[in-house]
Each structure stands twice: as C-alpha cells, then as structure tokens.
Structure 1
Amino acid sequence: MPRFFFHYRTDDDFVVDEIGQDLPDVEAAHEQAADIGRTMLSRALENGEKPNAARCIEIVDEEGVEVLYIVFWASASKPGTLDAEELLKPPTLH
C-alpha cells in the first residue's frame, strides 16, 4: 500500500508531515486530506484566526512527488456569519 504525506501550509506556516499514512490510492488520500482540512480549519476558527485565510494541504508520495494540492478556507454566505454547514462543504481542489 502506498504511503502519502500531508503537509499543511498557510501564509505564515508550513508544517511537514514526517510520518505519513498508508492508504490504498490517491482518492483515499484526498478523503483523508479533506478530513484533516476540516479539523485544521475548525481549530483555526477556535483560535480566533480569520475564516477566509488561505490554507492548503500538499499531498506527496513516498518519493516526495506532489500528487494533490488542496486549498481550503471557510466562507460565510452572509457577511459576519459562519455555520457548521459552511464548514462541512468539500474543499476546493487546485
């Protein structure tokens, strides 16, 4: 089973995943990254960070080759609002 690494990046930080996870394929890695993204976004919001700040997860394989780059952020339908439904939307892929 291939191993994927999930590096987390913001405008200010870059956190390298040195452990990685064994997953069956890129689709499973994408699902895992979406879960990680939701968790990281939830923590950022709990810490008072801006909901619309750009964040991404770079998924790389065992050779260090980038296989997916997922950008995500929270956005509110109305200015000044943010609800759980908005947070659970799938991340934007680039």
Structure 2
Amino acid sequence: MPKFFFHYRTDDDFVVDEIGQDLPDIDAAHEQAAEIGRTMLSRALEKGEKPNAARCIEIVDDKGVEVLYIVFWASASKPGTLDAEEPAQAPDAALISPTSP
C-alpha cells in the first residue's frame, strides 16, 4: 500500500508531515487531505485567522514526489464558521496536479 505525506502550508508556516499514512490510492489521499484541510481551517478560524488566507496541503509520495497540491479556504458566505452539516460553510478547495501544464 502506498504511503502519502500531507504537508501543510500557509504564507507564514510550513508544517512537514514526517509520519505519513498508508492509503490505497491517490483518491484516498485526496479525501484524507480534504479532511486535514477542514481540521486545519477550523483551528485557524478558532484562533481568529482570516478565512480567506492562503492555505494548501501538498501530498507527497514515499519517494518525495509531490503528487497533488490542494488549495483551500473558508467559504465567503459565512466567514469564520465551519459546519459539516451545511456544505456551503465547508472550505472550498481547488485541486492542482503538479503534472498539469
């Protein structure tokens, strides 16, 4: 089973995932990154950080190759809130593949 690492980046911080997770494929890694993104965004908002600040998760394989780059932010509809029951408040995300032109 492949191992993926989820590095978290903002304009001010870069948190390296040194442990990683064994997941069946890139789709599972993408789902895991979305969950990590929701958690990190929720924590940032609780600390009073801007909802539209630049945040991303870089998914790297066990060889150190970046396989996905996910950018996310809080929805502008209700800044400062996240509620899994209401999809409009969940973070928006853009998926960028490092192999895209």
Q: Compute the TM-score of the two structures, normalised by the length of structure 1.
A: 0.90
The percent identity for this pair of structures is 79
CA contact (8 A) 1:38 1:87 kept: no
**1:36 CA displacement:** 0.2
Matching residue of 1:10: 10
Name stretches of at least 5 consecutive residues in structure 2 with no aligned partner. 97-101
Partner amino acid, structure 2, of 1:63: K
**Number of residue pairs matched by the alignment:** 91
Give the superposed CA RMSD.
1.3
Provide closer, same or farther for how the CA distance between residues 63 and 33 of structure 1 changes in structure 2, counting only shifts above 3 A. Answer: same
> How far is 1:18 from its partner?
0.2
- C-alpha deviations, 1:25-68, integer Å up to 9, x for none? 00000000000000000000000000000100000000000000
User: Match for residue 74 of structure 1?
Assistant: 74
| 2:19 matches 1:19 | yes
Deviates more, 1:81-90 or 1:3-12: 81-90
Unmatched 5+ residue regions in structure 1? none
Aligned-residue offset at 1:90: 4.9
TM-score (norm 2): 0.84
Matched, 1:61 2:61: yes
Q: 1:88 maps to which residue?
A: 90
